[in-house]
């Protein structure tokens, strides 16, 4: 039987605090969602002034990144490059940049999804959050 690392609530709080700090430093109103490796929501934070739809988009991006074990931007690029049939892939709805997996020793332990500003900025916030773990 193999063992693997898991994302703890303490880890999630570190990610969330760093992601929030990055967003606030740039005056970006966003939603920050953090999921475990199965795409189950562990954290949802909605900053003041963000569009309500972002509370649905951020968790979808996080789930996509966790289940796919890759950034959600990869799926966006696949679709934008003409593989429209990928829109029918099961269980993933957030195929937009801004979902980033949390990788530890080759294992995906969860993901961060951010929504509310430009997609590259969403990803910047997610990566800043993950960086707080010092991986």
Domain that holds residue 123: 9-131
* pTM, two decimal places: 0.95
Average pLDDT over residues 13-40: 98
State the burial class of residue 23 (Cβ atoms within 10 Å of its Cβ: 0-12, 13-18, 19+).
buried
pLDDT tens, residue by residue, 21-32: 999 999 999 999
Backbone angles phi and psi of 86, in degrees to 5: -65, -20
Phi (first) and psi of residue 76, to 5 degrees: -60, -45
Q: Residue 23 and residue 36: Cα distance in Å, rounded? A: 22
Q: Are the C-beta atoms of residues 103 and 71 closer than 8 Å to each other?
A: no
Give the mean model confidence (pLDDT) for residues 68-72: 96
Does some domain include residue 105?
A: yes
Q: Is residue 22 part of a domain?
A: yes
What's residue 122's pLDDT? 98
* Packing angle of the helix pair 54-68, 72-80 (nearest 10 deg): 90
Residue 11 has pLDDT above 90, yes or no: yes
Whole-angstrom distance, CA of residue 116 vs CA of residue 45: 12
The pLDDT score that the predictor gives to residue 92 is 82
Total domain count for the chain?
1
- Three-class secondary structure of residue 99 per DSSP: strand
Q: Is residue 125 part of a domain?
A: yes
Does residue 95 lie within any of the structural domains? yes
Q: pLDDT, tens digit, for every residue of 81-124? A: 999 888 888 888 889 999 999 999 999 999 999 999 999 999 99
Residue 114, domain CATH: 3.30.450.150
Residue 70 lies in a domain: yes
């Amino acid at each position: 039987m193999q063992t693997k690392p898991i994302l703890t609530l303490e880890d999630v709080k570190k990610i969330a605090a760093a992601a929030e700090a990055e967003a606030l430093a740039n005056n970006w109103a966003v939603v920050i969602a953090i999921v475990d490796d199965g795409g189950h929501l562990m954290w949802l934070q909605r900053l003041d002034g963000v569009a309500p739809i972002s509370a649905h988009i951020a968790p979808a991006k996080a789930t996509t990144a966790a289940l796919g074990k890759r950034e959600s931007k990869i799926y966006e690029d696949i679709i934008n490059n003409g593989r429209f049939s990928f829109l029918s892939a099961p269980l993933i709805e957030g195929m937009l940049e801004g979902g980033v997996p949390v990788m530890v020793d080759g294992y995906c332990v969860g993901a961060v999804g951010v929504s509310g500003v430009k997609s590259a900025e969403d990803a910047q916030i997610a990566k800043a959050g993950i960086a707080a773990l010092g991986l």
